[in-house]
Every structure is written in structure tokens, then in C-alpha cells.
Amino acid sequence: MLTFTPEYWKDYELLDCGNFEKLERFGSVILRRPEPQALWDKVWDEIEWKKLTDITFKQKGSHSGEWINPKKKPTKWQISYDNPNFRLKFNLSLTSFKHVGIFPEQAANWDYIYNHLKGIEQAKFLNLFAYTGGASIAAKAAGADVTHVDSVKQVIGWSRENMEASKLDNIRWVVEDAMKFVKRELKRGKTYHGIILDPPAYGIGANGERWQLEDSINELLKDIAGILDPKEHFLILNVYSLGLSALLVQNLVQQNFHPTGETENGELYLQAKSGVQLPLGILSRHTKK
């Protein structure tokens, strides 16, 4: 199985992980957060973790908690991702759901998106379940016509701020349920040269639509197959769901997309400074040229 990890991070670093936690540096701020994938023991001892940590997330419920910030570090700050060919900027903020507005492992997909779109004339790109827009602004940096779809209005605003911070513009913002949007594009005959989707295990759409990954992903991929440019396209399916099989994702992509294309399947991971590798999602990339 293939593995994929970002190459160009300077403002982000996974320091260590284990015992269901991870220690990360975002710019000059070091965060300690829960990590359900880190089943093993920490490499560094607790003394080292405490010495390095600036802000700690304390879980209060199943999906929320609070940040403990004894050093009074800023709760909003900015970092950049510096690929040799483009630079993206991200506005970070401490949320009650332990997230800060970026999934650093996704930078491996940003590189892929930029490299594939750069060579396509009048490229069109669609980002589904788009969150704060890393893939969208990478596609825009490559010169693509970009449509960004997410069901949470506040997240769209966050994405716009990241676009502006990266000195880019003219991304099309859509607040809508991903499945409804794709079905409408299919009826309109719209096509895209590149599509990425990073669906959650479960969620609620803009108008209360309920999303369950296992129930809906096959139908969504069938519809997506109909809006990919028939001559040249790529699809990225990224899934972060505990217990989901890589073979399951591979079968979904192979059955739903053009048999003459090339598909690569594997896992996204981050390399910790301490030496351990943290898996952070199953990844399938399908390309037709």
C-alpha cells in the first residue's frame, strides 16, 4: 500500500504522538490535542511534553471541550504553506471542537492538485466538504476556476479569509449539501477537470440533510463520475473514519470511475519529529489523461 505525506511544511510540525494525544507546532505555538489514531505509547516522556506545550485541549464532552492557555498565547494567528511553486496562508483559531482550521496532512493533496491543474487549459475544479479551503486555494493558485462547497456558512467565511490572505480571488462559494449540489450539476451537464472530496463519517447539511458516510458515499461517487470531464480529469477521495477499510475505498473508486484511468490507493500520514508515523486517512487518487 502506498503512503503519502506533505513535503514542504515549515510552519507546521508534528512533534510526537501517542496515548491518544498529539503534540504539534503551528508556527510559534505548540498545541497538545486528542488524537484517536495514536494508540501506542508516546516516544517522549511527560516531562518533555509539559515543557514544550503552550496550549492544551481538554475534552469535556464527546465532541467538544476547552483550551487551557496558561502562557497567554494568541488564540488567533497565521501560518503559511510554502511549496516551491506557490504559497498559501491560513488563519488559525482555537475552536471548541479541538480543530484550529487546518488539517496539515492535506498538504500532500494540495501539491497534487496544483501539479495536475497547472497543465490544463481553462481548468475547472470542485472541492466538496471543503472546510476552510486548503484544496480550493491550491487549485486557484494553479489558475483554475474553483467551486468550493460546504454546508457550514461560518466555514465558508473562514475559507474566504484564507483566500484573501493568500492574495487570491474569484473562488465560487456555495453553502449547500454536497449530494444535492452534485445532483444539480449533473442535471445541468456541468463538468470538472478535478474534484476532491473529504467527507466526514457523519454530518448535517445546510438544510438539515443527514449525511452518513457508509449510506451515501457510493451514490455520491456515481453522480461525481458523471460530472468529471470525459477526456481529462482527476478525483481525490480522502476518508478519515476509524475502522474503515482501505480496500473498501479502493473498490468504490475502481467500480465508479473510468477503467482506462490510473488509480493509486494508500494512506495519508504525518511524520513526527520523535520518529513515529501518524496515519490520518485513507486516500484514493484516480487520474485520466
CA dist 19 → 43, 254, 272 (Å): 10, 36, 14
Q: Is 150 a domain residue?
A: yes
87 domain-assigned? no
Q: How many domains does the chain have?
A: 2
The model's pTM is: 0.94
Query: According to the model, what pLDDT value does residue 276 have?
Result: 98
Claim to verify: residue 170 and residue 230 sit in the same structural domain: yes
Clarify whether residues 222 and 107 are in a common domain.
yes
- 239 and 114 assigned to the same domain: yes
Phi, psi of 178, rounded to the nearest 5 degrees = -60, -45
The residue segments making up the domain with residue 145 are 103-288
Phi, psi for 139 (deg, rounded to 5): -65, -40
Task: Dihedral sign for Cα 206, 209, 215, 220, please.
Answer: negative
Return contacts of 54-57, CB within 8 angstroms, 24+ apart: 54/29, 54/30, 55/29, 55/30, 55/31, 55/94, 56/31, 56/32, 57/31, 57/32, 57/33, 57/98
Residues 286, 23 contacting (CB under 8 angstroms): no
Tell me the β-bridge partners of 56. Answer: 32, 68
**pLDDT averaged per 10 residues, the chain (length 289):** 94 98 98 96 98 96 89 97 98 95 97 95 96 97 98 94 98 95 97 95 69 86 96 94 81 86 94 97 94
At residue 140, the pLDDT reads 98
* Phi–psi pair at 210, nearest 5 degrees: -95, 130
Same domain, 145 and 257: yes
Beta carbons of 182 and 188 less than 8 angstroms apart = no
CB 263 within 8 A of CB 285: yes
Instruction: Report pLDDT for 206.
Output: 63
Cα separation, 257 vs 101, whole angstroms: 31
264 and 209 fall within a common domain? yes
CATH of residue 264's domain is 3.40.50.150
Q: Are 65 and 140 found together in one domain?
A: no
